[in-house]
Amino acid sequence: MLKTSAHCPQTYTKEDADTSFSAARWLEYFLDNKQNRTVTQFSDDLSISQELQEPLIRSLQRFQIGETGEGKHLKKFAKEKKDPIYEQCIDLFLKEEHSHARILAEMIAALDGNLITWHWSDLVFILLRRALGLKTEIFILLIAEIVGKCFYLQCARNLKNERLSDTFSVIVLDEIAHVEFHCDFLRTELITYPQPVRYAIYWAWATLFYAASLVFVLDHRLALAGLEVSQRKFLDDCSTTFHRAASRALAI
Ligand SMILES: [Fe+2]
Ligand SMILES: [Fe+2]
Give the pLDDT band (50/70/90) at residue 241.
very high
Q: Which of 52-56, 81-85, 126-130 has the lowest mean pLDDT?
A: 126-130
pLDDT of amino acid 1: 39
C-alpha 145 to ligand 1 mean position (Å):
7
Q: Average per-residue pLDDT in the chain? A: 89
C-alpha 202 to ligand 1 mean position (Å):
24
C-alpha 208 to ligand 2 mean position (Å):
18
Average pLDDT for residues 203-221, to the nearest whole number? 95
Q: Are 143 and 78 in contact (CB under 8 A)?
A: no
Q: Which residues of 16-39 are buried (b: 16+ CB within 10 A; e: fewer)?
A: eeeeebebeebbebbeebeeeeee
- How many angstroms separate the CA atoms of 136 and 130, rounded? 8
pLDDT of amino acid 10: 45
Q: At residue 207, does pLDDT exceed 90?
A: yes
Closest CA to 224 of 145, 143, 119, 154: 154
Helix 134-158, helix 231-250: angle, nearest 10: 140
pLDDT of amino acid 160: 92
Closest CA to 103 of 47, 172, 55, 4: 172
pLDDT per residue as tens digits for the range 1-45 = 344 443 434 444 445 555 678 999 999 999 999 999 887 788 777
Average pLDDT for residues 162-189, to the nearest whole number? 95
C-alpha 238 to ligand 2 mean position (Å):
15
C-alpha 145 to ligand 2 mean position (Å):
5
Tell me the CATH number for domain 50-250. Answer: 1.20.1260.10
Q: Residue 9: how many CA atoms within 13 Å on its side-chain side?
A: 21
Average pLDDT for residues 138-151, to the nearest whole number? 95
**Which residues 6+ apart lie within 8 Å of 239 measured at CB?**
210, 213
Inter-CA distances, 123 with 21, 27, 118, 162, 165, Å = 30, 30, 8, 33, 29
The ligand placed nearest to the CA atom of residue 179 is 2
pLDDT per residue as tens digits for the range 112-122 = 999 998 888 87
C-alpha 191 to ligand 2 mean position (Å):
24
Q: At residue 46, does pLDDT exceed 90?
A: no
- How many angstroms separate the CA atoms of 232 and 217, rounded? 9
Which helix (DSSP H) or strand (DSSP E) does residue 162 occupy?
A: helix 162-190
C-alpha 181 to ligand 2 mean position (Å):
10
Average pLDDT for residues 181-194, to the nearest whole number? 94
Average pLDDT for residues 238-249, to the nearest whole number? 97
Average pLDDT for residues 119-135, to the nearest whole number? 76
The ligand placed nearest to the CA atom of residue 64 is 1
Q: At residue 90, does pLDDT exceed 70?
A: yes
Which residues line ion ligand 2, judged by CB < 5 Å?
A: 145, 175, 178
C-alpha 174 to ligand 2 mean position (Å):
7
- How many angstroms separate the CA atoms of 227 and 233, rounded? 12
N-term to C-term CA, the chain: 32
The ligand placed nearest to the CA atom of residue 97 is 1
The ligand placed nearest to the CA atom of residue 66 is 1
Boundaries of every domain in the chain:
50-250
Average pLDDT for residues 218-233, to the nearest whole number? 97
C-alpha 97 to ligand 1 mean position (Å):
4
